[in-house]
């Protein structure tokens, strides 16, 4: 699964994030106070304004501190009842309708049907729930104000903070309930949609391989075609079977009856829905001169995600793993990797490009080539490094070469270089090849003129699999986080805007949130074609993105306008949550466990957004006459 941004450790992430959050909240608070003070100063003069501002802050803090959970719950229940009356039934009906007809649009014969089905249910659910959250949260307060039901509420002893919080909690609860039901239905839909079986009869099999006492020992054949695919099966005369994986899954095959009258029974698909727990390492590339580099060769791909290395040269793709201990990996290292293969000549068309896997001790430099393999592109290759290595292709002691200001730095240094380490005939993974929990895995391409490519997440150690169901729930938790964010923004906007305007503002925040990275790139000038005004000019004049605009007054005006707009875009991109990052759909669909770290980071981020939106919402509602 491509992961295009680095996943930080929560320990590394939290301090920086907290400081950033505090700075943004402080700036917004200061800006709010300043605006409040200026408005009051214009009305009553600066001296009165100071007192008024202080009193507002004081009463605001009191309102926030004295929030009563009981009253919040009562208001949340009110929001709940309101929601049930308004939108939820419609959304639920649409969801069921979509699932009923989804079979028309989903192709079970696609290369990875599991991925397709999971992406579909997660995306459909998130769109519907986010839309529901958007409508509920944006229209609720304005409708209450217009229909004057809010006046009845505020005559009761409730604080504006409780009104706002009650709405947020109420809508979050309704969204949660809906998500739970949708999740359960989706799960059944996915399991049902992917469920299939094939049949195999004696006539489908032909014998191959050696014959013993006139009797063939091995048989192979293909199953019936279901969902646009078949499986190649292998059966031996003892009844042992092997089913080739196809479309990301395989089946169990059981044989009964005697030879000549065997009956075959295939089980349900396996391996389609999984939650691999990957342990990622840090990648570096070694070029053909043996020097370390941060990036591999670009073989002309527009998407520069993978770096490539040249075959039949010292070049290698190197991953360094930490904390590799006997306790964590008692049976050795199980690893999976995905390689990009690039050929500069046809080579042997019928066989894949040959490569090798080596394990290297990052301190002593001892390297043991444990496996030679034939590459398979776009398919997970699985290999195992045993705890005790008795079979290997080559072994050596190789120094890491790093370009340093003082020259080339060698690890191990010339003084520590000990070639006799490679003279053993057996190696212990943890004693000989792991140093302080660190180990390096090297992938090399063994054919001249051919290239292997990989990015950091393309190779990982595979610990025991997590529960798919739990991962599925985590996927829905990601949608829940998005939903809470939308509710927060919707309620905030609805405290000072009319229903439809609040909806548009929230929708703007939502759409903007999905394009935060683009906005940030646009604001910092990392996008071809200039800022918004320049882009518009180019569009109208049908100019390409790379040529410079003709110098002149017009261009200067365009550039100055863009600078102002880019400032605004920068502020927006810094304030809006990156909605796309909260989606775990890819993790679930690609079969990777959503790590607790990731869950914690995203949850804290949501809390970090919801708190200020609640505060802003509260202050706006407080300033409205209705809540006084």
Partner 1 sequence: MTSRRSFLRKITYLVAIGVLLLPLFWLGRPATSSTSTGESSPGGILAQLRAEHRLSQADLGEIDPTSETIKLATLGLRGVAANVLWQKANGYKMKKDWTNLSATLEQLTKLEPHFIAVWRFQAWNLSYNVSAEFDDFRERYRWVIKGIEFLEKGVRLNEQSPRLLWDMGWFIAQKIGRADEHRQFRLLFKADDDFHGARPVERRDNWLVGKEWFARAERLVDQGASLGGMSPVIFYSDRAMSDMNYSEALEEDGIFGERARRSWDLAYRGWTEGPVPGDQVPFGMRDITTSFGDVIRLNDREKYEKTLEEMKARFEAITPGVRERIEQQRRARLTPAEREALDAEERTEQQHQLAAEAAIKLNVTYEDVANEMSGAEKSRALEMAKRLSETERITDLIRRYREIVNFEHWRRRAEFEQSDEALEARELIHEGNRAFAQAKLEEARENYDRGLQKWREVLDKFDGLIRDTGLGRDLMDVIIMYRRILDARDEPFPTDFVLQDVIDRHGHSAEGWMPYTDDAEEDQE
CB of 206 to partner 1, least distance (A): 13
Q: Which is nearer to partner 1, 347 or 608 (CB)?
A: 347
Q: Which is nearer to partner 1, 445 or 491 (CB)?
A: 445
CB of 347 to partner 1, least distance (A): 10
The only residue of 343, 401, 462, 624 in contact with partner 1, by rule CB under 8 A? 343
Residue whose structure tokens are 């013993």: 212
Q: Which is nearer to partner 1, 342 or 427 (CB)?
A: 342
The only residue of 8, 216, 290, 352 in contact with partner 1, by rule CB under 8 A? 352
Q: How many residues can be counted in the chain?
A: 628
Q: Which is nearer to partner 1, 81 or 225 (CB)?
A: 225
Does the protein bind partner 1 through residue 349 (CB under 8 A)? yes
Per-residue mark of binding to partner 1, 155-194 (x: CB under 8 A): ----------------------------------------
Spatial contact of 479 and 26, defined as CB atoms under 8 Å apart: no
Tell which positions 509-548 bind partner 1, by CB under 8 A. none
Distance CA 28, CA 514 (A): 22
CB of 119 to partner 1, least distance (A): 7
Does the protein bind partner 1 through residue 346 (CB under 8 A)? yes
Stretch near partner 1 under the rule CB under 8 A, chosen from 100-108, 124-132, 171-179, 521-529:
100-108
The only residue of 2, 16, 69, 596 in contact with partner 1, by rule CB under 8 A? 2
CB of 269 to partner 1, least distance (A): 16
CB of 318 to partner 1, least distance (A): 22
CB of 560 to partner 1, least distance (A): 31
CB of 346 to partner 1, least distance (A): 6
Say how many CA atoms lie within 13 Å of 485 toward its Cβ. 30
Q: Which is nearer to partner 1, 126 or 364 (CB)?
A: 126
Tell which positions 52-91 bind partner 1, by CB under 8 A. none
Q: Which is nearer to partner 1, 123 or 574 (CB)?
A: 123
Strands laid side by side in the 241-243 sheet: 205-212, 215-222, 232-236, 241-243
Does the protein bind partner 1 through residue 303 (CB under 8 A)? yes
Does the protein bind partner 1 through residue 416 (CB under 8 A)? no
Does the protein bind partner 1 through residue 5 (CB under 8 A)? no
Spatial contact of 593 and 466, defined as CB atoms under 8 Å apart: yes
Per-residue mark of binding to partner 1, 273-302 (x: CB under 8 A): -----------------------------x
CB of 378 to partner 1, least distance (A): 7
Tell which positions 224-243 bind partner 1, by CB under 8 A. 225, 230
CB of 478 to partner 1, least distance (A): 18
Instruction: Using CB under 8 A, count the residues that bind partner 1.
Output: 28
Q: Which is nearer to partner 1, 24 or 299 (CB)?
A: 299
Identify which of 173, 156, 149 has the alpha carbon closest to the alpha carbon of residue 68.
156
Stretch near partner 1 under the rule CB under 8 A, chosen from 180-188, 265-273, 344-352, 593-601:
344-352
- Work out the burial of residue 417: count CB atoms within 10 Å of its CB; fewer than 13 is exposed, 13-18 middle, 19 or more buried: middle
What is the three-class DSSP state of 378?
coil
Distance CA 246, CA 109 (A): 10
Per-residue mark of binding to partner 1, 358-387 (x: CB under 8 A): -----------------xxxx---------
Identify which of 225, 207, 228 has the alpha carbon closest to the alpha carbon of residue 216.
207
Does the protein bind partner 1 through residue 350 (CB under 8 A)? yes
Tell which positions 102-121 bind partner 1, by CB under 8 A. 104-107, 110-112, 115-116, 119
Distance CA 353, CA 311 (A): 9
The DSSP letter of residue 440 is: E
- 298 — phi, psi (to 5°)? -90, 120
CB of 4 to partner 1, least distance (A): 9
Partners of 389 in the β-ladder: 427
The answer for residues whose C-beta is within 8 angstroms of residue 511's C-beta and 6 or more apart is none
The answer for residues whose C-beta is within 8 angstroms of residue 288's C-beta and 6 or more apart is 309, 310, 313, 314, 315
Structure tokens at 376: 């398979």
- State the greatest distance between any 2 C-alpha atoms of the chain, in Å, as a whole number: 110
Spatial contact of 91 and 128, defined as CB atoms under 8 Å apart: yes
Does the protein bind partner 1 through residue 51 (CB under 8 A)? no
Residue 23 is inside which H or E element, if any? helix 10-44
Distance CA 385, CA 596 (A): 27
Distance CA 182, CA 71 (A): 30
Distance CA 120, CA 533 (A): 37
CB of 112 to partner 1, least distance (A): 4
Q: Which is nearer to partner 1, 115 or 159 (CB)?
A: 115
Does the protein bind partner 1 through residue 580 (CB under 8 A)? no
Does the protein bind partner 1 through residue 341 (CB under 8 A)? yes
Partners of 235 in the β-ladder: 219, 241
Distance CA 417, CA 358 (A): 19
Query: Sign of the CA dihedral 168, 171, 172, 173?
Result: positive
Does the protein bind partner 1 through residue 271 (CB under 8 A)? no
Q: Which residues of 168-183 are buried (b: 16+ CB within 10 A; e: fewer)?
A: bbbbbbbbeebbeebb
Spatial contact of 375 and 413, defined as CB atoms under 8 Å apart: no
CB of 301 to partner 1, least distance (A): 8
CB of 105 to partner 1, least distance (A): 6
Distance CA 47, CA 42 (A): 11
What is the three-class DSSP state of 366?
strand
CB of 381 to partner 1, least distance (A): 12
Q: Which is nearer to partner 1, 5 or 105 (CB)?
A: 105
Identify which of 401, 408, 435 has the alpha carbon closest to the alpha carbon of residue 320.
435
The only residue of 37, 305, 392, 570 in contact with partner 1, by rule CB under 8 A? 305
Rule CB under 8 A: which residues touch partner 1? 2, 101, 104-107, 110-112, 115-116, 119, 225, 230, 302-303, 305, 341, 343, 346, 349-350, 352-353, 375-378
């Amino acid at each position: 699964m491509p992961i295009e941004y680095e996943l930080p450790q929560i320990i590394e992430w939290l301090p920086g994030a907290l400081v950033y959050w505090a700075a943004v909240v402080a700036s917004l608070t200061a800006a709010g106070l300043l605006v409040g003070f200026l408005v009051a100063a214009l009305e009553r003069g600066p001296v009165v304004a100071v007192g008024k501002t202080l009193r507002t802050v004081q009463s605001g803090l009191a309102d926030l501190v004295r929030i009563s959970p009981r009253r919040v719950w009562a208001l949340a229940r009110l929001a709940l009842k309101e929601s049930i009356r308004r939108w939820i039934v419609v959304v639920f009906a649409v969801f069921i309708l979509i699932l009923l007809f989804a079979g028309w649009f989903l192709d079970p014969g696609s290369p990875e049907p599991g991925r397709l089905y999971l992406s579909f249910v997660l995306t459909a659910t998130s769109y519907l729930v986010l839309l529901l959250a958007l409508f509920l949260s944006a229209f609720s307060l304005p409708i209450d104000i217009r229909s004057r039901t809010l006046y009845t509420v505020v005559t009761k002893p409730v604080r504006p903070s409780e009104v706002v919080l009650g709405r947020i909690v109420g809508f979050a609860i309704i969204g949660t309930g809906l998500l739970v039901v949708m999740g359960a239905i989706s799960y059944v839909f996915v399991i049902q949609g992917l469920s299939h079986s094939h049949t195999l009869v004696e006539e489908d099999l032909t014998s191959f391989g050696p014959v013993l006492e006139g009797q063939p020992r091995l048989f192979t054949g293909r199953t019936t075609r279901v969902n646009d695919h078949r499986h190649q099966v292998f059966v031996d005369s003892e009844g042992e079977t092997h089913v080739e994986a196809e479309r990301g899954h395989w089946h169990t095959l059981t044989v009964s009856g005697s030879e000549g009258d065997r009956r075959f029974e295939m089980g349900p698909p396996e391996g389609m829905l999984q939650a691999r727990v990957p342990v990622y390492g840090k990648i570096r590339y070694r070029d053909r001169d043996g020097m370390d580099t941060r990036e591999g060769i670009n073989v002309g791909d527009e998407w520069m995600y993978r770096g490539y290395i040249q075959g039949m040269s010292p070049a290698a793709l190197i991953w360094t793993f930490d904390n590799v201990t006997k306790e964590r990996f008692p049976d050795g290292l199980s690893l999976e990797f995905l390689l990009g293969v690039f050929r500069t000549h046809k080579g042997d068309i019928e066989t894949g490009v040959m490569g090798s896997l080596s394990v290297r001790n990052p301190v002593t430099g001892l390297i043991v080539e444990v496996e030679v393999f034939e590459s398979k592109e776009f398919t997970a290759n699985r290999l195992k490094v045993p705890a005790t290595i008795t079979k290997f292709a080559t072994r050596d002691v190789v120094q890491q070469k790093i370009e340093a200001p003082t020259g080339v730095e060698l690890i191990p240094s010339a003084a520590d270089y000990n070639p006799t380490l490679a003279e053993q005939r057996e190696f212990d993974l943890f004693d000989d090849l792991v140093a302080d929990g660190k180990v390096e895995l090297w992938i090399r391409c063994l054919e001249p003129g051919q290239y292997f490519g990989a990015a950091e997440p393309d190779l990982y150690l595979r610990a025991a699999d997590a529960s798919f169901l739990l991962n599925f729930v985590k996927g829905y938790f990601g949608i829940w986080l998005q939903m809470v964010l939308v509710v927060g923004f919707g309620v905030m906007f609805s405290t000072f805007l009319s229903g439809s305007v609040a909806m548009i503002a929230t929708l703007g925040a939502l759409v903007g949130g999905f394009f935060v990275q683009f906005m940030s790139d646009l604001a910092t000038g990392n996008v071809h074609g200039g800022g918004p005004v320049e882009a518009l000019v180019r569009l109208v004049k049908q100019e390409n993105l790379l040529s410079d605009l003709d110098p002149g007054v017009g261009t200067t005006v365009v550039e100055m306008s863009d600078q102002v707009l880019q400032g605004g875009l920068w502020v927006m991109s810094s304030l809006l949550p990156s909605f796309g990052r909260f989606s775990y759909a890819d993790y679930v669909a690609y079969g990777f466990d959503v790590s607790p770290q990731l869950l914690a980071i995203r949850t804290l981020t949501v809390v970090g957004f919801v708190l200020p939106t609640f505060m802003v919402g509260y202050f706006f509602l407080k300033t409205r006459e209705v809540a006084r």
